[in-house]
Structure 1
Amino acid sequence: MGLFFKKRKVKPIFVGSYGNDLTRGIYVFHIDIDNGEILKKKFYKSLANPIAISKRERFIYVCYKNNTGRPTDGGLWQYASMDLQFGLAGKSTDHGKTYVDSYVNEDRTCAYAVDYYNSEVVVIPILKQKIVKVVQTIKHQGSSVDEKRQNEAHPCFIDATPDQKWIVVCDLGTDEIVLYDIGEKGRLQRNDELTFKVKPGSGPKKIIFSPDGQFAYVLSELTSEIHVYRYEDGVFTFVQTVKTYPTDEYIGQNTAGDILINEKGDYLFVSNCGHDSVTTFEVDLATGMLTAVDNTDTDEKPVSMILVIDKYIVVASQKGGSIESFEVRRGESKGVLFETHFSYMVSEPVCLIEGRGV
């Protein structure tokens, strides 16, 4: 930066973009942790659309949409990352299937992914730190009340429970939160006793847990709701349902975009596609219950969010074609989430992940 310039303290973030033949791929940005400024650093072009990004230590896992119909397209790709460097380590393309989310277990022996389009959950071993071919495929069955979006099963999100005892899958098509027992070599067995349904027509899109693992928050895309549950040893006990946006102020169509919670667990954030906003909820740490306290405008169709160093929320707005940062401020009388006035134009950004290091 030179003798007379202060060196920036930054955090890397990765952004997946649909875009076109010239702009489609993975972007690497730095976010200045002092003011929230977004700085473009590198671009990795891809032939397919990146749908979701997850990470485990130094590896980044990208789900790609099959754009060509070829059996080698789509699937889950694994990259080794270090700040700006992004190198292919392995890939698993199961006859060209498209996965929409993935999860890698803590000891990095298995990757799990969900196929929205073929109603499947898959298990992918990791050998010598690299993902290999699919060894187990589980088919979801069923439907629900929305004839257009729920005519069949659509598993769309996968993670582990906070105690690491079960794999949990949100199925938008069947209105189910499906729990899987983890067996030998990471193989899965559906646990029908612990699996449960949310309100018909909800379309559960994502589940997150409070930092202490006592509460679960299910985001329903179709009804723009958050369902709150107390969680203990695989059992979910219903607590509350709240809307994700102020329905008395907006009569247009809305779908829930993304959900996240801060490190302390006292604030929860949800993005709204249609209302084009992020709603902030205050969390009662004793009961898990939510109270809406703030609503902040975003660019069009904010589909994905991340929280960086527990201070900045970065929002990817697919239709608006931008990523923008907002600062979380505690104790402010006029709100919680504030514009930094920093953004960057990206063609159809759809997924985000925070990189390593500062």
Structure 2
Amino acid sequence: MVLFFTGSYTQDGSPASNPTGKGIGCFQLNTETGEVKFLRYSEQRSPSYMVVSNDKEYLYTVEEMYENLNPEVYAYKIGEKGELTFLNKQKIAGDYACHLAIIHDRLVVASYVSGNALSYPILEDGSLAPFSQEIKHEGTGPNTERQEAAHAHMVYPFGEDQMYVVDLTLDMAKAYQLDTESKQWTATPNLDIRVDSGSGSRHMVMDQREEFAFVLSELTGEVFVADLRGGEPKIIQKVSFIPESHNGAVGGAAIRIHPNGEFLYASNRGSETIAIFRIEKDSQELSLVGFQSTEGKTPRDFNIDSSGRWLIAANQDSNTLVVFEINPQDGTLKMKSKVEAETVVNICWL
């Protein structure tokens, strides 16, 4: 058995047509059968993304809403059975906080609409101090509807006290270094990963050695493979994760690497699919294995358990969690179970 948490959209104003979520969900996965059991909800407004500390003792999550609704970032202590005990919360000075990550003793929150990232010190008891630094992105892109202003979409830790902030408008994963004395972030532009203009970089993953990065574009539905070994990142491949038969909307969402490093997965809202790629061992380039329906609508997120056997898709607009078993030979997916989870948008393993 393994526990996982889910985020959800709970109220109007969130990026969902009919938000009916109940807060932070706690579920149990039977790692033998793939069956999921609901345990409890912890009430919170639109907790769209969350992260668990490396020691599995603390959970942090954001409220994704406009700043005039006073969104906050929350810190919880995790109990033995996944129970959450509220520690404290801090103000989010931004609109639509959508992602967060722990880097050293900082929690960094990215806000999509306002295009900024906030750095919060994590205190010894796991609680959060008020944010100590704001990183503000500026710029526009060629897609005048979606790239009218900077949109910070993800915080991705790497190296020693470093992070990428992936921005949809700048078509870039911008690199930053934390000064361990001043505790301030400084841009390191020589490490920036730039993708095609107008592609709309959203999320990214890196291989275990952090020699290659895989950047997902939301607007054009491509994965860009970047070789980081030569100092300045170099794009060596781009490949579509949209089925050729799909003529509708493109809404690239989540990207994950299998724990064995051999397969990469990317979801698209619109075709309601997860693309499956094999990662070539030497070049790290991608070859398409196939596509899997998420058996639901709007797969905003999915995640793979640490054993590499199970993948769970969060179907936002069909209110379902769908469990797939991963074939270890070719990475393909086979549906095993489905459970209701209202307006579910994130999956975070404990």
Q: Same fold (TM over 0.5)?
A: yes
Instruction: State the partner residue of 2:338.
Output: 343
Give per-residue Cα distances to partners, 1:265-312, cap 9 Å, x unaligned.
101111111110111101102111101112111111101011012110
Instruction: State the partner residue of 1:174.
Output: 170
2:252 counterpart of 1:256 = yes
> Aligned AA for 1:255?
G
Equivalent-residue separation in structure 2 for 1:95 and 1:290 (angstroms): 39
- Tell me by how many angstroms 1:24 deviates: 2.3
- Tell me by how many angstroms 1:123 deviates: 1.2
Larger Rg: 1
Equivalent-residue separation in structure 1 for 2:205 and 2:62 (angstroms): 20
> Aligned AA for 1:174?
L
> Aligned AA for 2:263?
Y
> Aligned AA for 2:335?
E
Where is the strand percentage greater, Structure 1 or Structure 2?
1
Equivalent-residue separation in structure 2 for 1:94 and 1:242 (angstroms): 36
Instruction: State the partner residue of 2:326.
Output: 328
Instruction: State the partner residue of 2:238.
Output: 241
Instruction: State the partner residue of 1:284.
Output: 280
Which residue of 24, 31, 34 corresponds with 1:33?
31
After the TM superposition, which residues 138-177 of structure 1 pair with which residues of structure 2 at under 5 Å, given as runs?
Answer: 138-161=135-158, 163-177=159-173
Equivalent-residue separation in structure 2 for 1:115 and 1:253 (angstroms): 24
Instruction: State the partner residue of 2:107.
Output: 111
With the length of structure 2 as denominator, give the TM-score of the two structures. 0.91
Instruction: State the partner residue of 1:122.
Output: 118
> Aligned AA for 1:13?
F
Equivalent-residue separation in structure 2 for 1:241 and 1:215 (angstroms): 13
Q: Which runs of 5+ in 1 are unaligned?
A: 1-9
Residues 94 and 116 in structure 2, CA contact (< 8 A), matched pair in contact too: no
2:298 counterpart of 1:307 = no
Distance change >3 Å, CA 155–CA 67, structure 1 → 2: closer
Instruction: State the partner residue of 1:6.
Output: none
Equivalent-residue separation in structure 2 for 1:68 and 1:164 (angstroms): 32
Residues 211 and 264 in structure 1, CA contact (< 8 A), matched pair in contact too: no
Instruction: State the partner residue of 2:213.
Output: 216
Instruction: State the partner residue of 2:225.
Output: 228
Q: Percent identity?
A: 21
SS at match of 1:232: coil
Instruction: State the partner residue of 2:348.
Output: 353
SS at match of 2:47: strand
> Aligned AA for 1:302?
P
Which residue of 5, 15, 20 corresponds with 2:6?
15
Give per-residue Cα distances to partners, 1:213-239, cap 9 Å, x unaligned.
221100000001000011238632211
Equivalent-residue separation in structure 2 for 1:205 and 1:188 (angstroms): 21
Instruction: State the partner residue of 1:51.
Output: 48
- Tell me by how many angstroms 1:68 deviates: 8.4
- Tell me by how many angstroms 1:170 deviates: 0.4
Instruction: State the partner residue of 2:264.
Output: 268
2:292 counterpart of 1:293 = no
Residues 190 and 231 in structure 2, CA contact (< 8 A), matched pair in contact too: no
SS at match of 1:319: helix
Residues 166 and 234 in structure 1, CA contact (< 8 A), matched pair in contact too: no
Residues 65 and 97 in structure 2, CA contact (< 8 A), matched pair in contact too: no
- Tell me by how many angstroms 1:164 deviates: 2.5
Residues 42 and 84 in structure 1, CA contact (< 8 A), matched pair in contact too: no
Residues 75 and 98 in structure 1, CA contact (< 8 A), matched pair in contact too: no
Instruction: State the partner residue of 1:64.
Output: 63
Equivalent-residue separation in structure 2 for 1:127 and 1:291 (angstroms): 44
Instruction: State the partner residue of 1:7.
Output: none
Distance change >3 Å, CA 123–CA 310, structure 1 → 2: same
Distance change >3 Å, CA 234–CA 354, structure 1 → 2: farther
With the length of structure 1 as denominator, give the TM-score of the two structures. 0.89
Residues 282 and 291 in structure 1, CA contact (< 8 A), matched pair in contact too: yes
- Tell me by how many angstroms 1:23 deviates: 4.0
Equivalent-residue separation in structure 2 for 1:39 and 1:134 (angstroms): 36
> Aligned AA for 2:171?
D
Residues 63 and 98 in structure 1, CA contact (< 8 A), matched pair in contact too: no
- Tell me by how many angstroms 1:32 deviates: 0.4
RMSD: 1.9
SS at match of 2:189: coil
- Tell me by how many angstroms 1:158 deviates: 0.5
Equivalent-residue separation in structure 1 for 2:110 and 2:94 (angstroms): 14
- Tell me by how many angstroms 1:130 deviates: 1.7
> Aligned AA for 2:271?
H
Give per-residue Cα distances to partners, 1:79-102, cap 9 Å, x unaligned.
111332111122221357542111
How many residues are treated as equivalent by the alignment?
336
Residues 230 and 237 in structure 1, CA contact (< 8 A), matched pair in contact too: yes
Equivalent-residue separation in structure 2 for 1:55 and 1:233 (angstroms): 32
Distance change >3 Å, CA 179–CA 95, structure 1 → 2: closer
